[in-house]
Structure 1
Amino acid sequence: MSDRSPSSRPEQQAESAPHRAGFACFVGRPNAGKSTLTNALVGTKVAITSNRPQTTRHTVRGIVHRPDAQLVLVDTPGLHKPRTLLGERLNDVVRTTWAEVDVIGFCLPADQKIGPGDRFIAGELAALKRTPKVAVVTKTDLVDSRALAEQLVSVDRLGKELGIEWAEIVPVSATAGDQVGLLADLLVPLLPEGPQLYPDGDLTDEPEQVMVAELIREAALEGVRDELPHSIAVVVEEMTPREGRPADRPLLDVHANVFIERPSQKGIVIGPKGSRLKEVGIKSRKQIEALLGTPVYLDLHVKVAKDWQRDPKQLRRLGF
């Protein structure tokens, strides 16, 4: 007869459980809730969110630290039918990322029927035979239980039609925090065994200058006309501590340019008597100060980079 009491067994099993570390990637059509989910899992804002499709342009890595695992979330742009060179490059980024991660989470919003865009992505995922796939039904707070049940059945059926064996099908609401922890619990066993990939406390490996530029772009996206979001790019030219400030009252000077494609768009971004640009500055400065933990002086300028989404030279200059 064993001399171990039943209550001690789980602890001993937990002690011997190997540490896991690896990369997970959320995919889905634009605006499926991928960035919001990444932020919810990490517990802080590492990816910008917007109700505009194709907001994400970089692969932002958010890092989830747990005693038993380190889960590195790669938040990619939405896969879409490209209309510009920028669109083609974003799709290339997505496919490259898919080939490198340990597990893929396919995000499908609970409040929208499965459409051609979802089927297109699912078809691409079906070709990746060896990577485990988790279906994540997002935005569950927007539907009742009956509609959610119908969507879960539809997702299961989609997998069977295309020969995808879902490792899990998980309903979540990132905004309400429902089942976000459960999703992490289900992703971790699909990661390879191994030590931490990033130091404790690191929440992202995105360079600070890129994150600052993204926060400015997020503020600039709010409230502009529908055709403008894809035309806006932001480059932080300089981030330098203000000289001659006392140690207890530092100030960081941030100089950034907001690029648009046509002179006619300049007025939209700047607004009457500069009111919109001022609003963008106030909003983004608060977020930047929270991110960097220091007071910031933000200097914003709006510049025209003609048709930059279609120009390889301009795309390189703007970081794509």
Structure 2
Amino acid sequence: MAEQTRSGFVTFVGRPNVGKSTLTNALVGEKVAITSDKPQTTRRAIRGILNRPSGQLVIVDTPGLHKPRTLLGQRLNDLVEQVLGDVDVIGFCVPATEKVGPGDRRIAESLSGYGRAKKVAIVTKTDAASRDQITERLMEVDSLREDWAAVIPLSAVAHEQLDVLSDELLALMPVGPALYPEGVVTDETLEDRIAEIIREAALEGVRDELPHSIAVTIEDIAQRETGSMTDIHANLIVERDSQKAIIIGHKGSRLRDVGARARAQIEPLVGTNVFLKLHVRVAKEWQRDPKQLGRLGF
């Protein structure tokens, strides 16, 4: 008898910057979620789709759980809670390079509130840790809960143990047909993916207080009649004039760098050369303003 196919939803939780988006991209085999060493890089529930012979995993990449300081932060936490209530499996991520702390314990305990989801513990970043660190982390994580379906060490960067994880996750999914057509790697729109690429480029090298204040909106995407060039007009939105000056840089040098980095990733996505026009706008305290958050899609 043919093996039954399985499909379902998994999300990875953990403190900000434990490698959730990097793991999502590594499993999907294509970049669907932006990554950065800045906390709270992920701001939406981004779905990446992994097809295997035995079924389909829909990976929902979410923001890291944190203590919110703004209305945006609260809405991101609310989004994570909503996703956690809907998925079939929750993967709890802890980096091998850092001891389990109070934040990890709090998140692990909170998983009891999502009774329908099976739980898997994942020790990430094993490529950057010693064997002793990995062993210590596995023991710490294993002791956080008694209901782990599995505890798996892996490296998304080195692509180590990813098959082990995906096999384990698929085995925990309900029996059923694929939820997305084969060949689809994300349900993100082209506009959303371009906006995220621009934001990722803008996050590189900025000061700690700035990342939270950056948002990106796309004004227009239009392919020229020749078909060899796509014009993209986008807004980089910050909260203060001083931040605008940082983003633009001396004589526009930083903004040019942001544009060049973003363009290099957008061109393979759209399949043509790209003319990218970036405009920096100030929207005062947008992270705390319900109307402006709504306009920016939060």
TM-score where L is the length of structure 2: 0.98
User: How far is the alpha carbon of 1:98 from its aligned partner?
Assistant: 0.4
Task: Tell me the CA shift for residue 250 of structure 1.
Answer: 2.3
SS in 2 for 1:159: coil
**2:278 aligned partner:** 300
Secondary structure at the counterpart of residue 9 of structure 2: strand
The 5-angstrom pairing of residues 1-320 of structure 1 reads 16-160=2-146, 165-242=147-224, 244-245=225-226, 249-320=227-298
2:221 counterpart letter in structure 1: M
Gapped runs of 5+ residues in structure 2?
none
Q: Report the residue type matching 2:93 in the other structure.
A: C
Q: Please give the per-residue CA displacement for 1:56-102, whole angstroms capped at 9, x wherever unaligned.
A: 00111000011210100000000100000000000000000001111
* Shift of residue 127, structure 1, vs aligned partner: 2.2
Q: Counterparts of 2:77 and 2:196 in 1: how far apart (Å)?
A: 19
CA–CA distance in structure 1, aligned partners of residues 135 and 38 of structure 2:
27
Describe the superposition over 1:114-133 as per-residue Cα deviations: whole angstroms up to 9, x where unpaired.
11111111121022223100
Give distance in 2, aligned partners of 1:260 and 1:308. Answer: 8
Kindly indicate whether the alpha-carbon contact (under 8 Å) linking 2:88 and 2:116 is maintained by their aligned counterparts in 1: no
Residue 252 of structure 1, CA deviation = 1.2
Does the residue aligned with 1:167 lie in a helix, a strand or coil? strand
Counterpart secondary structure, 1:299:
strand
**Separation (CA, whole Å) in 1 of partners of 2:127 and 2:142:** 20
Q: How far 1:294 moved relative to its partner?
A: 2.0
Deviation of 1:193 after TM superposition, in Å, equals 0.9
Deviation of the 1:146 alpha carbon: 1.1
Q: Deviations over 1:121-165 (max 9, x none)?
A: 1121022223100000000111111111011010111114xxxx0
State the one-letter code of the partner of 2:279: H
Shift of 1:179: 0.4
Q: State TM-score, norm by structure 1.
A: 0.92
2:229 and 2:219 map into 1 onto residues whose CA distance is 17
Question: Following the alignment from structure 2 to structure 1, what is the Cα–Cα distance between the partners of residues 7 and 143?
Answer: 31
Find the aligned partners of 1:259 and 1:88 in 2 and give their Cα distance. Answer: 20
1: CA distance, partners of 2:107 / 2:271: 39
Deviations 1:221-240 (A, max 9, x none): 00111110000000011111
Deviating more after overlay: 150-159 vs 212-221: 150-159
Q: SS at 1:237's partner residue?
A: strand
Secondary structure at 2:144 match in 1: helix
C-alpha RMSD over aligned residues = 0.9
The offset of 1:292, in angstroms, is 2.1
State the AA in 2 paired with 1:75: D
- Distance, in Å, in 2 between the alignment partners of 1:303 and 1:120 is 38
Pairwise CA distance, 1:303: 0.3
Give 4+ residue runs of structure 1 displaced > 2 Å after superposition. Answer: none
Greater Cα radius of gyration, structure 1 or 2: 1
Partners of 1:230 and 1:24 in 2: how far apart?
26
Q: Distance in 1 between matches of 2:233 and 2:295?
A: 16
Q: Is the 8 A contact 2:56 2:178 kept in 1?
A: yes
| Aligned residue in 2 for 1:11 | none
The one-letter code sitting in structure 2 at the alignment partner of 1:172 is L
